[in-house]
């Protein structure tokens, strides 16, 4: 249904409607989109969807803790005052699992990844290094999304304009 709305909005120049509909189409099957869209719109849609695939990939890669400790108190600034044990903290994996479970429902959910990272930070409260790594993951998720050109990176019309 959303693909039909996007097709209509693009055909008739309704940019606000296209911006609203496009993110709702990225979970659709490519064969279905191919059948619905004209060739130019399909290529634009495929590139728009590809960006979400890259976001999801980066989201899962960037969740690896940079350094972790067990037993040592690590300030939030990341400096370690005592000998370091590189054993992973028990708080980190459940936190990452909860965040990824929330955004894994669909490609369109990756647009809200930074919100999910922030929403579940309470799960790592008490471990300075986990809190630091969570902040880094959040910052990287936000930077990844804004580095693709527009102030509102998920706007369909801005994305299509950026293609030239």
Q: What is the pLDDT along the chain (164 residues), one digit of tens a residue?
A: 789 999 999 999 999 999 989 988 888 889 999 999 999 999 999 999 888 787 777 777 767 765 555 454 555 555 555 544 556 688 888 998 898 888 876 667 777 778 888 999 999 998 888 888 888 888 877 766 554 443 345 688 888 888 87
The length of the chain, given as a count of residues:
164
pLDDT value at residue 16? 92
Helix runs in 62-112, H state only: 92-103
pLDDT value at residue 104? 73
Region class of 71: left (phi > 0), else alpha (psi between -120 and 50), else beta: left
* Separation between Cα atoms, residue 18 and residue 73, nearest integer Å: 50
Tokens of 104: 């894994």
pLDDT value at residue 37? 95
pTM over 0.75: no
pLDDT value at residue 57? 76
Q: Where are the domains of the chain?
A: 1-65+87-162
């Amino acid at each position: 249904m959303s693909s039909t709305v996007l097709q209509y909005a693009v055909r008739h120049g309704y940019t606000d409607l296209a911006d609203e509909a496009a993110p709702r189409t990225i979970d659709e099957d490519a064969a279905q989109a191919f059948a619905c869209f004209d060739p130019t719109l399909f290529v634009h849609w495929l590139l728009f969807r590809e960006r979400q695939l890259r976001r999801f990939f980066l989201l899962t890669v960037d969740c690896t803790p940079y350094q972790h400790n067990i037993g040592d108190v690590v300030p939030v600034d990341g400096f370690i005052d005592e000998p370091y044990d590189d054993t992973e903290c028990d708080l980190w994996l459940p936190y990452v699992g909860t965040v990824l479970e929330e955004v894994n429902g669909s490609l369109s959910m990756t647009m809200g990844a930074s919100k999910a990272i922030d929403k579940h930070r309470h799960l790592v409260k008490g471990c300075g290094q986990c809190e630091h790594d969570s902040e880094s993951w959040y910052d990287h998720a936000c930077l990844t999304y804004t580095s693709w050109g527009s102030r509102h990176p998920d706007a369909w019309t801005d994305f299509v304009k950026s293609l030239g």
